[in-house]
Amino acid sequence: MKGIIGGIIATLLLLGFIMTFGWVDIKPTEVGVVVNKIQGKVEDMPLGVGYHFFNRWATDVITYNIAARAFPGDTQSNEESKQYSLDLKTNDGQNINVDLTIIYSLTSNDVPKLHAQIGHNYEDQIFLPQVKSEARIVIGSYSAEELYQGKVRDSIQLEIGKRLKDNLAKYPAICVQDALIRHFAFSPEFEKAIEQKKLAAQQVEINKNRALAQEEEAKRQEAEARGGKLKAVQEASGRAESAKIEADAQRYKLEQEAAGNLAIFKAEAEGRRLTSQALVGEGGKNFVALKWAENIPSKLQIWGIPTGSSSTSLMDMSGIFGKMFTSSGTSTEKTN
């Protein structure tokens, strides 16, 4: 009987020991925060990777994921269901739904402090309210049209990320790495108004391009007309210049001919003047004699008649003339 009771006691003690015994497997992306239930405090150093054993009655171990991750966590279902995380307003009063994702991680050595300050539900307690506050401040400084165009998205992301880092600095375990905006959703009325405005702007741009094209065409036609006019002026100028050159050449020719004729006339007149001067006085007699001599035939024979001799008779004269007319093989030329 005593043996049976002893066995029951031993079994109960073993079961009690087993029930007080606990163990935990810490993964590479996790740390374990040790809470001393008896003393009511959190151990300063977290548990690292591996198996860890502890007393269930005196100690509690809470695991934290310290790897980089997105918040909200279920981003895939959020994207598919179009359930955007934040409902905000722009500075012109337009409602806008923003799908904002924050990438963050935890610093392992500071996780015990975070657990002691906030607890395991720190995302709902401080992280989500802080994200909404900073996003509301940043996005509220822009107009709906600026957000719709998407030109300020990078600036908004950078500003939200910076403000979160600054305001969560009092919780050193939370390390914000990036803020990402995946989508903006506006009210149907606003989107319709924006689309109409875009269409109107596009039509204005089309009309502007058409006007510019017409202006360019007018400039081209003007340039062609100006070129044709310039060509015609140049051709007319060329013809005028050519005619002027021909006229100058003809004038020069006539001037030279006139100068030549004038020189000839002057020379002839000077010759006549000199001739007239030569005919005056003794020179005129000589000139007449010279001209008379030039007209004497080259074969004229001159015969002398003796005078002053008493012994010469007319018979002698006939003898002389007889010889003149009877010379054999000789013809007598008469002087004119």
Question: Tens of pLDDT along 144-196?
Answer: 888 887 788 899 999 999 999 999 999 989 999 999 988 888 888 887 877 77
Whether residue 28 is predicted with pLDDT greater than 90 in this model: the reply is yes
Q: Between 224 and 322, name the one with better pLDDT.
A: 224
Residue 33: exposure state from Cβ atoms within 10 A (0-12, 13-18, ≥19):
buried
Reported as a single tens digit per residue, the pLDDT across 164-174 is: 999 999 998 99
Q: Kindly state whether residue 5 falls inside one of the protein's structural domains.
A: no
Q: Is the residue at 265 inside a domain? A: no
Number of compact structural domains in the chain: 2
* The pLDDT of residue 327: 45
CATH code (residue 98): 3.30.479.30
For residue 120, being part of any structural domain is answered with: yes
pLDDT digits (tens, 9 = 90+) for 7-18: 666 666 556 556
Domain boundaries, position 35 = 21-64
According to the model, what pLDDT value does residue 298 have? 61
Q: Taking residues 315-332, what's their average pLDDT?
A: 46
Residue 137 has pLDDT above 50, yes or no: yes
Residue 260 within any structural domain of the chain:
no
> Within this chain, do residues 82 and 29 fall inside the same structural domain, yes or no?
no
Q: Are residues 148 and 125 in the same domain?
A: yes
Task: Indicate if 89 and 150 belong to the same structural domain.
Answer: yes
Q: Confirm whether 140 is domain-assigned.
A: yes
Same domain membership, residue 79 and residue 29 = no
Mean pLDDT of 74-86: 58
**For residues 86-104, b (16+ Cβ closer than 10 Å) or e, as one string?**
bebebeeebebbbbbbbeb
Question: Is residue 296 scored above 70 in pLDDT?
Answer: no
Average pLDDT, the chain: 78
Look at residue 253 and tell me if it is in a domain: no
Q: Do 53 and 80 reside in the same domain of the chain?
A: no
Which of 43, 64, 85 terminates a domain? The answer is 64
At residue 294 the predicted structure's pLDDT band, cuts being 50, 70 and 90, is: low
Q: Check whether residue 57 and residue 75 sit in a common domain.
A: no
197 within a domain of the structure (yes/no): no
Tokens of 116: 């002691």
- On whether both 75 and 106 belong to a single domain, the answer is yes
Domain co-membership, 27 together with 111: no
Residue 86 and residue 115 share a domain: yes
Which of 147, 165, 186 corresponds to the end of one domain? 186
Asked, as a colleague might, if the bond just before 112 is cis with ω within 30 of 0, I would say no
The torsion region of residue 300 among left (phi > 0), alpha (psi -120 to 50) and beta comes to beta
The model's pLDDT over 113-124, given as tens digits with 9 standing for 90+, comes to 999 999 989 999
Q: Give the global pTM.
A: 0.53
Beta-sheet pairing, 21-26 with 50-55? antiparallel
Given a cut of 50, whether residue 284 has pLDDT beyond it is yes
Q: Rounded to an integer, what distance in angstroms lies between the CA atom of residue 40 and that of residue 34?
A: 11
pLDDT for the residue numbered 253: 83
Please check the confidence at residue 333 and state whether its pLDDT lies above 50: no
